[in-house]
């Protein structure tokens, strides 16, 4: 039995660049092989090129282009040519069946996002550093790349695939496992029906209640928690800083002084501190007029210290007089 595992890789900046170059060069190989097949069939001779003919040219291609095609695994390049061969085989199969065929297309760099390695140990190696607690996978031309292995791999790893999804890189493993042994037969049969009012009901007439986990708490419990929070704040005498403080500096000073004395969860709503009241009174009060009395305003201005204005009359005169 074959089973696939998919793990997220954590490449460095240099390894990310090398992985992108690997996909680019395999995409170039795929498009070049497709161009050769199309041009040969359009020729007067109607030559048909197969996978074996193109695979035999890989050695010469790798010698003439050592910086790009020559730096990657030979087996992975053969897998890319087999991928093109499967696309043409599917195309001719649809033609013979009378279906609507789709001719294999040229791939752009952003559309070619997978490189296959047919055998573990040939151009790639899973768990290349077994002595290190961090799992790594090694690719030819890239190096040892860290892998976020969130589950153990059971069985022998056969194939390894590199895949890019957006800005993330994944490694896909195919492991061969032994077939699981079936459990011994009990001779009993049971039917289960998932419900809404109840979690499930079986054929024996037994009902299991819905646990209701993950649901939102009722509004009454939220109100009860708010009331208990306000009661605890009133009992401790800790007050909440006002939102009407004029500057961020004042608010930060009040919050810093309260944080040293406030117990956890002791905020209280609709309360103001003595510091807030002092700042508020200083903001609303006006200093007495010390200059000469303006002409025509002596009778209209009241004597004594200035009073705090009401909410309806808070406007001030530019010369310091009464409004």
Query: pLDDT tens per residue, the chain (323 residues)?
Result: 899 999 999 999 999 999 999 999 999 999 999 999 999 988 888 888 999 999 999 999 999 999 999 999 999 999 999 999 999 999 999 999 999 888 999 999 889 999 999 999 999 999 888 888 899 999 999 999 999 999 999 999 999 999 999 999 999 999 998 888 888 888 888 898 888 888 888 888 888 888 776 556 555 555 555 555 555 555 555 555 555 555 666 666 666 665 555 555 444 444 444 444 444 444 444 555 555 555 544 444 445 555 555 544 444 444 544 44
| Statement to judge: residues 272 and 154 lie in one domain | no
| Statement to judge: residues 171 and 238 lie in one domain | no
What is d(CA 70, CA 60) in angstroms, rounded to the nearest whole number? 10
| Statement to judge: residues 34 and 89 lie in one domain | yes
| Statement to judge: residues 36 and 106 lie in one domain | yes
| Statement to judge: residues 166 and 262 lie in one domain | no
Per-residue CA distances from 209 to 80, 199, 201, 274 (Å): 54, 5, 9, 54
Confirm whether 184 is domain-assigned: no
Confirm whether 14 is domain-assigned: yes
Confirm whether 118 is domain-assigned: yes
| Statement to judge: residues 171 and 226 lie in one domain | no
Note the residue count of the chain: 323
Range of the domain at 82: 2-176
The SS3 call for residue 173 is strand
| Statement to judge: residues 95 and 168 lie in one domain | yes
30 burial class (0-12, 13-18, 19+ CB within 10 angstroms)? buried
Indicate the angle between helix axes 74-96 and 13-42, nearest 10 degrees. 40
Q: Of 114, 119, 137, which Cα lies nearest the Cα of 9?
A: 137
| Statement to judge: residues 136 and 27 lie in one domain | yes
Q: What are phi and psi for residue 301, nearest 5 degrees?
A: -85, 130
Q: How many domains does the chain have?
A: 2
């Amino acid at each position: 039995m074959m089973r696939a595992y998919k793990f997220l890789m954590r490449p460095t900046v240099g390894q990310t660049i090398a992985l992108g170059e690997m996909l680019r060069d395999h995409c170039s190989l795929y498009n070049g092989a497709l161009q050769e097949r199309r041009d040969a069939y359009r020729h007067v001779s109607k030559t048909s090129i197969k996978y074996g003919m193109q695979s035999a040219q890989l050695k010469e291609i790798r010698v003439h282009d050592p910086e790009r095609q020559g730096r990657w695994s030979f087996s992975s390049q053969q897998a890319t040519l087999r991928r093109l061969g499967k696309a043409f085989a599917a195309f001719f199969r649809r033609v013979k069946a009378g279906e609507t065929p789709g001719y294999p297309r040229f791939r752009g760099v952003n559309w070619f996002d997978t490189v296959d390695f047919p055998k573990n140990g040939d151009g790639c190696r899973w768990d290349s550093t077994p002595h290190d607690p961090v799992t790594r996978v090694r690719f030819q031309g890239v190096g040892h790349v860290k892998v976020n292995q969130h589950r153990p791999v059971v069985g022998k790893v056969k194939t390894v695939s590199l895949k890019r999804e957006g800005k993330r890189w994944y490694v896909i493993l195919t492991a061969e496992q032994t077939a699981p042994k079936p459990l011994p037969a009990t001779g009993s049969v049971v039917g289960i029906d998932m419900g809404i009012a109840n979690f499930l009901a079986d054929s024996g007439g037994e009902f299991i209640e819905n646990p209701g986990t993950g649901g939102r708490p009722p509004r009454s419990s939220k109100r009860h928690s708010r009331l208990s929070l306000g009661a605890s704040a009133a009992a401790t005498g800790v007050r909440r800083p006002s939102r009407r403080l004029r500057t961020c500096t004042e608010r930060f000073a009040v919050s810093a002084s309260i944080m040293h004395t406030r117990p956890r969860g002791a905020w209280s709503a609709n309360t103001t501190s003595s510091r807030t009241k002092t700042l508020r009174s200083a903001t609303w009060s006006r200093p007495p007029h010390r200059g000469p009395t303006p002409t025509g305003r002596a009778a209209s201005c009241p004597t004594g210290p200035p009073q705090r204005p009401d909410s309806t009359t808070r406007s001030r005169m530019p010369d310091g007089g009464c409004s």
